[in-house]
A and B are shown apart, each in its own frame.
Chain A
């Protein structure tokens, strides 16, 4: 077997050094009845060519986003990733290393994390950021639990504009941890209801901008209302490229900002692995979940980096840890950081403007269709539209024309009574031809 270097001679020699008659003897502590499981229904080993054939066959059964007009967003976005990003993350020293427990031989990973934390802090307009979470949705749940630790209150208010998967994840995880979750009904314009829901028991309010319907919102008023009640404001961003154009969460008064970082540097990959961004005000740093990388010096006084404040974490604090997270999303954070270094201030702003411009073109095209109503007043790169019938059926109809016409809202939340709502996203990868094809397919589907 090509991944196993020991030869039969090696094995025999090693057994004699050990003083064991055979390998069986090394498994003697396993109960005899369970020691030799039979795996009749699994195939035997296969060569690289055979495995590649099977996987290529499975891949070919899927319709990649890049194969034609494609308008899905709702928490995952198709962007162009420069070739150098994927090349660099496949370097052995990044790909095949682990959590930097030995800082003297992990400065590569540690410096990247320090740079990543600084980039995330800059994007979100907050002072400190951690070294990544699993994804945006779990980062959202962690933020809610952090707010409980900071405020010592138990209730979280989730805006009706929050991505339903984020809300469900937060309900599952933060509720298990003992919090009361007040999830407001799905609403395109969710701001007023959020402010109304804040009371003296509220630990935090969670708002998303741009929200799941694409609505970009200035949440400053929500921040003021939350702070007046002694609650924290958590701002969620599912499309990280929007940071290049819109006001940062920190500038609008967020205490904690979480985001899905997939858009920058990472492939769609059918939902994962992605990378959760997590930033907060410095005064709350000891309540943050996840790994933190900090600057220090070595024995010769040279600048270096280490994992720090680890007494918050599970491997030291055990049942008193701020979170149970261990492995995070290191390689995806690296991809994010490399792509962002390539973009820089100038590139990210251009990219964001380009996305917004494509979405305006998209909006204009679908707004002109009879029976279609655009519901998103101010948006970044995604809009919600009302269609004459069920959006899911319309999406299926468009497939016949080779167009993937976005995400029906009912796929995310079947009980919102919003079956006629369709979410459409455009990015720099969307062409004018794609938009024309979408408009034509929608028009045909509606008829």
Chain B
């Protein structure tokens, strides 16, 4: 088994929400990403998945807890180590319209990380490397001097990916990289990400609200609800035998592209609870049809139950 590349230990992040209140965006998350593997994070909006992704590559400081890169905590690194670590951790953003500077050409956009890290010597070598990267992500080289607005969403996302892989990172955090794209283009980007992973031995932390996308790309999946992981495990096991009630409702709610299988299943009622005043005990209990007094009083911890780990009192009893 390959080694652990990036690890979160009991991460929490609170954002001030005025009047001495706080949004508990991430509340005690621990997870590991091994080399060459894809960990998918799935959850609804406001569950803290994007905040978690940003903490994991050091864009946001956690309120408590540690992130460890190859076994060493961010907090313990000196300036040089921290700098070297940044190079290994890159990010691809959701909105390919907002994440590229509209006043820079494709050449300058992709050359920017190469120049920052002084990877190529001289302008010509840089341009040569930019062309190689464009080829790797499937953007024709003749578009070298075009601006972002001259490209479609899918091609812009390819440019964003070229920027991320330019400096040969170990891990890329992909935050909803296909959410802004049409389905046929979404598949092209997913294929590209997989191909790059094989060629360059990349690890991904893949964040998405789209369950079928996460299922396709991930080796392991963590389901988040209100800042906490409620279930995690190997992808196929988690999707075939979901144990946590929230995971089950989430999978059930995905509209299936099959008119013969129209969902009649019970729907999850209500809306996600507030992250400012989360419920006591289990965060899901206010929407959970199986909640008991115990769920309000005692917070469930992630425990191994069958093939996955779940944080639910009910699942411990049933196994």
Q: Do A and B come from one complex?
A: no
Chain B residues in contact with chain A, CB under 8 A? none
Chain A residues in contact with chain B, CB under 8 A? none
